[in-house]
Structure 1
Amino acid sequence: MKQSLTTLLPAHLSAVLLGLALAGAAVAAPPGGIDTQPQPPQPAGTWQAKVKYLSPHTAPDGRRLTWKYADIVASTQEYCDSQLQSWYSSGNTVVVEYCHFVPIGG
């Protein structure tokens, strides 16, 4: 029996589509991406620093004080450094503690 074009075309088309689907799966990126290296777990904590700045004021007990302290707490080192730089550039500021990482519970 002779097959018509209408019976050959759907079979041929489905074979081509199946071949494309299998070829796409063969060249797809592996799970996790290409050439990824596992990263060590990062500890939880904050970046902290402390500055002392000139601020003449009277204490509750009547003493005249000239310095106040400010604590800087940030989630990243870059943010801590930028806050520290902002304090330092305002003038009359002394860095007591530079940015350092403080883990939770430590």
Structure 2
Amino acid sequence: MSAYSDLHRALTHGRPLRPDEAEQLLAALRAENGAEFADLLERGLSDRFRRTDTDTDSSFRKKRATYGASMRIVNGLRALARAPRPALPNQRNRSTS
């Protein structure tokens, strides 16, 4: 059963959820949605950065480098979605805007 249907059933069941139960259900939903989103991004990226007949060696190297950087971001999203309690890194500068 999907995490969404588990969460829906728990919310409409009639009894209030304990905080740890709600946290567990929301974590499962976040992990499932994050994995689906990352898979969708990966499919789109692999189609976008394929070698074409008009690519030179240097342009394809640039495509590969860009694809690698994009995949590092996708894998970071996967790790963030799997984390039990995601913690975003602190902002590196003191700017408020």
Greater helix fraction, Structure 1 or Structure 2:
2
Do both share a fold (TM > 0.5)? no
Q: Which has the larger radius of gyration?
A: 1
TM-score range, shorter chain: 0.3 to 0.5
Greater strand fraction, Structure 1 or Structure 2:
1
